[in-house]
Structure 1
Amino acid sequence: MTLLAAGQRRPRTSGPALARLLPLPVEEFAERHWGREALLARAAALPGGPGGLSDLLDLDAVDALVSTSGLRTPFLRVAKDGKVVEPGRWTGSGGAGAEVGDQVRDDALLGLFADGSTLVLQGLHRTHPPLVRFATDLAAELGHPVQVNAYVTPPQSRGFDPHYDVHDVFVIQVAGRKRWQVRRPVLEAPLRSQPWTDRKTAVAARAAEPPELEEVLEPGDVLYLPRGWLHSAEALGETSAHVTVGIHSITRYALAEALLAGAAGAEELRRSLPLGVDVADPEQLREDLASTLEALAAELRGADAQAVADRMRRRFWPQSRPGPLSPVRQAAAAAAVGPGTRVRLRPALRVRLAEGTPTDDQAAPVLLLLPERQLSLPAQTRTALERLLADGGAVVGELPVDDPGDAEVLVRRLLREGVVVPDEGQQP
């Protein structure tokens, strides 16, 4: 498979979603703070000023989510004094016609919240439209998968003990005030396989030390914490809520895993260890270890960058969802495609063009590489696809094709596959 040089979309490294969270240029954040140092930004220093992030979530939206949206586990957790409250205490059937037994019971939540429990709304990048849009844009800009949770804490209450996360976070205070204590890592840049619970003793010892940062966050303030930084928070004299935007950083270790996956092609590395080997004996392993390292080094030095990139794409692209579709409108638009139809690429969709394998009687098809699949399209659509991807959208009748009917067939296919969407203002 050959990647085509033209028509390749790349995620932005900066954009409006990320800029909303930063009091400094994106380039400076990338150099000084990304994965390295915490950063506190007061609302007044952010581009939108006080209230600039108020559209993302408020307490009324929290009430609506837990009371009228049919929310189920695991989209909600409840915690008190550092311990998770069993879901059986706050879930039940939805009543006639909705007998699913793990739906959130708002009356049970009321009692728990009034008694000091914290509500943790999980996966808001899938359930709350303003945060769906924000997280989709942010993930496209960062190139790293994003998740969004919210923590709603009663006055004078604490949800979780000091801990660290295995992903970077932006904390956005959206209601009330919360006192944060932040400390440096006990393990720099932990992987997802290295949670804080594996280092409870070290975490407790570090939590007993003076904090690196102790500040009260007020509505609109933003705190960035690289993965591994210890933190805990306590609500003050009123109900407090903050949004946590978790960034699942793609690491060099992940790149190493992709490299190692390619080493399976080396015959020397596929050979069996000696009969009767004791793998717990370092002396028995010494000779084979040396041979393995030599073969592995030779294989890695010759690694093909395109093959590694393909493995990374297949692993990480599916972790970031593109912008949502409207299936009913989309199907109607596909049925009504004509020369004047306007379409644009689906927001935040990751897509690349590649050249397929030719057959004896046909030219190589064009492959459209998508997060979880690929589309094979006729070779004659290549120029039109390149134009569409480069411009981000098109009018069907203006696409460069030899036969005007080919443009309609192509756009109809792309609409049905969710690659493009009707342009704003275009009615099917």
Structure 2
Amino acid sequence: MQFTDFDTETFLRDYWQKKPLLIRNPWAQWTNPLEPDELAGLACEDDVEARLVSHAGGALTAEDGPIPAERFGELGRDQWTLLVQAVDHFVPDVAALIEPFRFVPNWRIDDVMVSVAADGGGVGAHFDHYDVFLIQGLGRRRWQVGAMCDERTPLLPHDQLRLIADFEPLEEWVLEPGDILYVPPGIAHNGAAVGDNCMTYSVGFRAPSRAELIGDFCDDLLDTMTDDDRYGDPQLSPQDNPGEIAGTAINKLHAMLLEGLSDREAFARWFGKYNSTPKYPEIDWRPEDPVSAAEIVGALASKVPLHRNPASRFSFVRQNGGILLFADGECFECRAESAELAELLCAQTAIMVEDKFIHSASAIDLITRLYNQGSLAFEAED
């Protein structure tokens, strides 16, 4: 699916991380990619993250998945919403919804959450720490947006949901199938289904916090440090008060800390691996039997398209005249043909591999390793 009426440059300049935008059906032809019953079936699976939010007795309650199939028959006329995370990992047609939003770098894209709701169903007024495009897939939904929020915004007491205590809508729209509402980080919003079988596709983005970056990078650095790398003061001289931590000592200790954090190349390598780690690393996407380089060459020679796993995260950085390719938490050092191939794999979700790569040992080695870790697969054209 692609847009036919959407100005990317204007959007990034005037709206991205600035203010909400209603985008009335920009698709060449909108087709809802998933049926409500199919989403309910996914919610029953053990390896799928799902939540059922229902409004009964004057309060919202939340049940985490897997959701028993019989539970859906018990809902009756309750105002309920079923939410399923990362549906793009399992349904290629849902993964295709991400493609029009590739004007945002791959490393910032998270997943597509899909919801289906009965009339009046919603999850309450809330705010997120990330950008989101809310695509109306089926039925209608009324969206209200409010003011900017932060950690000081009062919330209602609730064990599972972060609900804004005093939500005041500033704008309101009813979205029809194919319409999109963009909501920047921190903006309060509230959606409620208008009629049954209301489906919404939420294309969400990643925004690491400073605390996450510092904490995880430092944890990674600790594995590379030795116990004998310690503070020393061979030029120590007497001081007037032994209780003082002298400025010279603070300066040296501070420099020790910053020196460990200041290696940009080490940070880039760490961040690429950290950021490309699968959302659900416990799911094993590897083939049952590893394939050899010769088998890869044979498949490529047969002109079978090479596809990225929708659950995989691909990105790269340029470093030291080559490419560091990151896929599913692993780093691959690439040069020449393998570097060119790495860029293609990051730019496109599926490629027909050219002959020059088939004849390159480094390119074949890269494809073989990516295939055997479950990041790539061969799929015949329909």
TM-score in same-fold range (> 0.5)? yes
1:42 shift after superposition: 1.0
Residue of structure 2 in register with 1:75 after alignment: 49
Residue of structure 1 in register with 2:61 after alignment: 84
CA distance in 2, matches of 1:389, 1:416: 16
Query: 2:79 is matched by which residue type in structure 1?
Result: G
CA distance in 2, matches of 1:260, 1:408: 35
CA distance in 2, matches of 1:296, 1:152: 54
Is 1:64–2:38 an aligned residue pair?
A: yes
Q: Do the aligned residues in 1 keep the contact of 2:144 with 2:173 (CA within 8 Å)? A: yes
1:171 shift after superposition: 0.8
Residue of structure 1 in register with 2:135 after alignment: 172
| Residues 40-84 of structure 1: CA deviation (Å, up to 9, x unaligned) | 1111xx142xx52x2433xxx221332488534863322223522
CA distance in 1, matches of 2:368, 2:163: 58
1:221 shift after superposition: 0.9
CA distance in 2, matches of 1:266, 1:291: 21
Q: Do the aligned residues in 2 keep the contact of 1:55 with 1:130 (CA within 8 Å)? A: no
Q: Do the aligned residues in 2 keep the contact of 1:159 with 1:234 (CA within 8 Å)? A: yes
CA distance in 1, matches of 2:307, 2:252: 45
Query: 2:342 is matched by which residue type in structure 1?
Result: L
Residue of structure 2 in register with 1:149 after alignment: 113
Percentage of identical aligned residues: 22
Residue of structure 2 in register with 1:36 after alignment: 18
**What does residue range 287-326 of structure 1 map to in structure 2 within 5 Å?**
291=250, 295=254, 299=258, 303-319=262-278
Residue of structure 1 in register with 2:236 after alignment: none
Describe the shift of the 1:38–1:328 C-alpha distance in structure 2 as closer, same or farther (beyond 3 A).
same
CA distance in 1, matches of 2:274, 2:61: 31
Residue of structure 2 in register with 1:385 after alignment: 338
Residue of structure 1 in register with 2:329 after alignment: 372
Describe the shift of the 1:242–1:113 C-alpha distance in structure 2 as closer, same or farther (beyond 3 A).
farther
Is 1:416–2:372 an aligned residue pair?
A: yes
Q: Select the structure that is richer in strand.
A: 2
Residue of structure 2 in register with 1:234 after alignment: 192
Q: Do the aligned residues in 2 keep the contact of 1:67 with 1:105 (CA within 8 Å)? A: no
Q: Do the aligned residues in 2 keep the contact of 1:341 with 1:396 (CA within 8 Å)? A: no
CA distance in 2, matches of 1:350, 1:170: 22
Residue of structure 2 in register with 1:115 after alignment: 78
**What does residue range 200-215 of structure 1 map to in structure 2 within 5 Å?**
203-205=164-166, 207=167, 209=168, 211-215=169-173
- Match of 1:172, SS state, is strand
Describe the shift of the 1:310–1:137 C-alpha distance in structure 2 as closer, same or farther (beyond 3 A).
farther
Query: 1:152 is matched by which residue type in structure 2?
Result: V
Q: Do the aligned residues in 2 keep the contact of 1:344 with 1:394 (CA within 8 Å)? A: no
Residue of structure 2 in register with 1:277 after alignment: none
TM-score (norm 2): 0.68
| Residues 134-158 of structure 1: CA deviation (Å, up to 9, x unaligned) | 3488578442141222232222x24
1:182 shift after superposition: 0.6
Describe the shift of the 1:104–1:162 C-alpha distance in structure 2 as closer, same or farther (beyond 3 A).
closer
CA distance in 1, matches of 2:95, 2:27: 21
Describe the shift of the 1:80–1:270 C-alpha distance in structure 2 as closer, same or farther (beyond 3 A).
farther
Describe the shift of the 1:30–1:270 C-alpha distance in structure 2 as closer, same or farther (beyond 3 A).
farther
- Match of 1:299, SS state, is helix
| Residues 117-141 of structure 1: CA deviation (Å, up to 9, x unaligned) | 2222333123333223434885784
| Residues 161-204 of structure 1: CA deviation (Å, up to 9, x unaligned) | 211122221111122222211102122xx6xxx99749999942
CA distance in 2, matches of 1:410, 1:182: 46
Describe the shift of the 1:117–1:197 C-alpha distance in structure 2 as closer, same or farther (beyond 3 A).
same
Q: Do the aligned residues in 2 keep the contact of 1:345 with 1:421 (CA within 8 Å)? A: yes
Query: 2:271 is matched by which residue type in structure 1?
Result: M
CA distance in 2, matches of 1:419, 1:330: 13
Describe the shift of the 1:305–1:178 C-alpha distance in structure 2 as closer, same or farther (beyond 3 A).
same
Describe the shift of the 1:224–1:199 C-alpha distance in structure 2 as closer, same or farther (beyond 3 A).
farther
Residue of structure 2 in register with 1:7 after alignment: none
Describe the shift of the 1:400–1:179 C-alpha distance in structure 2 as closer, same or farther (beyond 3 A).
closer
Query: 1:305 is matched by which residue type in structure 2?
Result: R
CA distance in 2, matches of 1:329, 1:215: 51
CA distance in 2, matches of 1:244, 1:310: 30
1:222 shift after superposition: 0.5
Query: 2:188 is matched by which residue type in structure 1?
Result: L
- Match of 1:227, SS state, is coil
CA distance in 2, matches of 1:331, 1:176: 45
Describe the shift of the 1:31–1:107 C-alpha distance in structure 2 as closer, same or farther (beyond 3 A).
same
Unaligned runs of 5+ in 2: 232-242, 346-352
Q: Do the aligned residues in 2 keep the contact of 1:262 with 1:303 (CA within 8 Å)? A: no
Describe the shift of the 1:334–1:173 C-alpha distance in structure 2 as closer, same or farther (beyond 3 A).
farther
TM-score (norm 1): 0.62
1:412 shift after superposition: 5.0
Residue of structure 1 in register with 2:301 after alignment: 340
| Residues 241-286 of structure 1: CA deviation (Å, up to 9, x unaligned) | 222222122456655667767997799x976xxxxxxxxxxxx999
CA distance in 2, matches of 1:328, 1:262: 31
Paired residues, what number?
346
Q: Select the structure that is richer in helix.
A: 1
CA distance in 2, matches of 1:302, 1:232: 41
Is 1:106–2:69 an aligned residue pair?
A: yes
1:308 shift after superposition: 1.8
| Residues 274-308 of structure 1: CA deviation (Å, up to 9, x unaligned) | xxxxxxxxxx99988x9379826982798232122
Q: Do the aligned residues in 1 keep the contact of 2:48 with 2:66 (CA within 8 Å)? A: no
